[in-house]
Amino acid sequence: MSSPEAKRRNLGRGLDALLGASDSSPAPARTAPAPAEVRPGNDIATIPIGDIHPGRYQPRQKFDEDELDALAESVRAKGILQPILVRPHPDKTGEFELVAGERRWLAAQRAQLHDVPAIVRDLTDKDTLEIGLVENVQRQDLSPLEEAEGYKRLVDEFSHTQETLASIVGKSRSHVANTMRLLNLPDEVKTHLLERRLTAGHARALLTADDPAALARRIVKQGLSVRAAEKLAGEAGKPKRQRAAPAAQADKDTDTLALERELTEATGLKVAIQHRGESGQVVIDYGNLEQLDDLISRLVRPLT
């Protein structure tokens, strides 16, 4: 049985499984028919570049212009070495919608090619979004925000669960959950993410900040590390907890203190029990969103 780590290295089911390929070997090229005769299958066809339209489910929103120019030079010199993936266009008879390989398609246009090699597949909208997401995550082409929006579309439009998404892209469920939380950030912070001025680690720290936009500006201006951002984001509430702790600790009996230690060891997180007569509360401190997601997962698992 393969380990979870091995599965993640293979990125979930991978493109081959999503496409239903029987093996990982490339399909043999064949002489392309006229555009009207192109049919879905495993063969590589040559399709006029003007008959291919951008994919409505493409998760990537921004492309580096210099990288596209460099790829266009390569395409101009050597052609497209790997075919793009398309499906019959849902609204335009005889034309096609791009599923995977948008960078190659854009570079081919810059290189002024008239046609491109492509594999045509009959794919559902769900399949199209999944494949586009896997391809870009595989190559680390997506910004954290683009990745989060791709996950959200699969959840909202196709009723995927976080567990299903994790399996598809070969990530942990906590990674999927924490990435989707980035969509709750202010628009200013999202722009920094999209422009790659902030990393996903910075953005997760900002989720707990009182003023995420102000802290984001400071991080970008000063070039702060993720650790520094986490420290700044947590400073606001820290003094209050520290002042309250000694008084609360003095009121606790030995049984309560022992139970706190037992719960802390069981969860791996600091646990405080506060009695108020017959009632009270249990407070669990977490240091980052991964710890929170792991705790939630452990608490709800017996109920599902």
Query: Per-residue pLDDT tens for 278-289?
Result: 778 888 887 767
301 SS3 class: helix
pTM attached to this predicted model: 0.56
Measuring CA to CA, which residue among 126, 200, 181, 154 is closest to residue 163?
Answer: 154
The length of the chain is 304
CATH class of 4-127: alpha beta
**Residue of 5, 37, 102, 262 marked active site:** 102
Least confident window among 150-154, 215-219, 278-282, 288-292: 288-292
Q: Where in the chain is the domain with CATH 3.90.1530.10?
A: 4-127
User: Where, residue-wise, is CATH 1.10.10.2830 in the chain?
Assistant: 140-234
Q: What percent of the chain has pLDDT over 70?
A: 76
CB atoms within 10 A of CB 105: 22
Mean pLDDT of the chain: 77
Does the domain at residues 140-234 carry the CATH identifier 1.10.10.2830? yes
Q: How far apart are CA 31 and CA 238, in angstroms?
A: 68
**157 annotated active-site:** no
